[in-house]
Structure 1
């Protein structure tokens, strides 16, 4: 088999494994998904699975790491300046990305066992907001700043979870605008 065909086969196998994993976390807790479950759902053999992943946790970790890397990439594209005055550009960028594979991300965000992953995302948002260079260092050192930063980061993640659950009838653009307005308004008197 030539390298190009082998590469396409590997990509196809990983996609099948990821899709099977995403389907299974709709039905089971992460800790109860087995390699057997995945290979049956993906209609592949165990050797194919083990050629790409060590175990089920490795599938979960890789997906989580890819999402975190993408978030860091997005945040890196935006200067850590003036997030609080205009968070909309970054929120729109994240929203568009989530929209591209809506069902997959909806499943991951709402899966039992996603709490640790969501906490990692919250930490990334907190760190990003803490480095907003438009915020004076004297403000950054206050407990009020820490409370707001954690509140905003947790709120952003929570509102996306609520939206993915179908409890809000907003488009991604409308959701981004609303969250942006809330952050900007709540930040004005402080910053």
Structure 2
């Protein structure tokens, strides 16, 4: 029988996360104290430590949940092996969408505390691709997906790091290249 989480625990954790999101939208992660978080969440410090090791553990969990939720909001994943161009365009269209309540989680001054954020994002997208049931969950497929999605993220990061005046536009040449990489990586899906 599956163990259910106590409703009090669920409510406490929700309150902690809401207080945390409120604070991280006002100041960077390293400046948030457990005392002010506990005060805002209307709990004591001991209660916080029953749920989280430290503020960074709370950040990592909240970031992972936010990434997972963002990924669930998009439907282009099923197109990877059917219409690769739709997949590529969808990836670059949604990658810089705004969710103001959680946007501060992704600020560089906060992301430096989660070295694996890119891995979390890639894993969430690969999981979403697998959930479409268009490809079997296998180690070789995961490696190919990591190559494609990881490469796309690296390109996106370079575009974002460019001077502010430069628009976040992905060239047709890049889209064509990435589509061709999908064809080459998954030839069994594109044979005539």
Q: Normalised by the size of structure 2, how large is the TM-score?
A: 0.57
The root-mean-square deviation of aligned C-alpha atoms, in Å, is 4.3
- Residue 177 (structure 2) aligns with: 182
- SS in structure 1 at match of 2:116: helix
Q: Which has the higher contact order (CA 8 A, sep 6+)?
A: 1
Report how many residues are paired.
161
CA distance in 1, matches of 2:18, 2:100: 19
Give, in angstroms, the shift of residue 116 of structure 1: 2.5
CA contact (8 A) 2:78 2:132 kept: yes
Q: Runs of 5+ in structure 2 lacking a partner?
A: 1-14
Residues 118-159 of structure 1, C-alpha deviation per residue, up to 9 Å, x if partnerless?
212111222344566666x7xx8694x554321111112222
Compare the two structures and name the one with the higher helix fraction. 1
Give, in angstroms, the shift of residue 115 of structure 1: 2.6
Q: Runs of 5+ in structure 1 lacking a partner?
A: 1-9, 40-44
Give, in angstroms, the shift of residue 175 of structure 1: 2.7
- Spell out the pairing of 1:73-112 with structure 2 (5 A cutoff): 73-74=73-74, 77-78=75-76, 80-81=78-79, 82-98=82-98, 104=104, 106-108=106-108, 111-112=111-112
Residue 24, structure 1, aligned to residue 28, structure 2: yes
CA contact (8 A) 1:85 1:184 kept: yes
- SS in structure 1 at match of 2:162: coil
- Spell out the pairing of 1:114-129 with structure 2 (5 A cutoff): 114-129=114-129
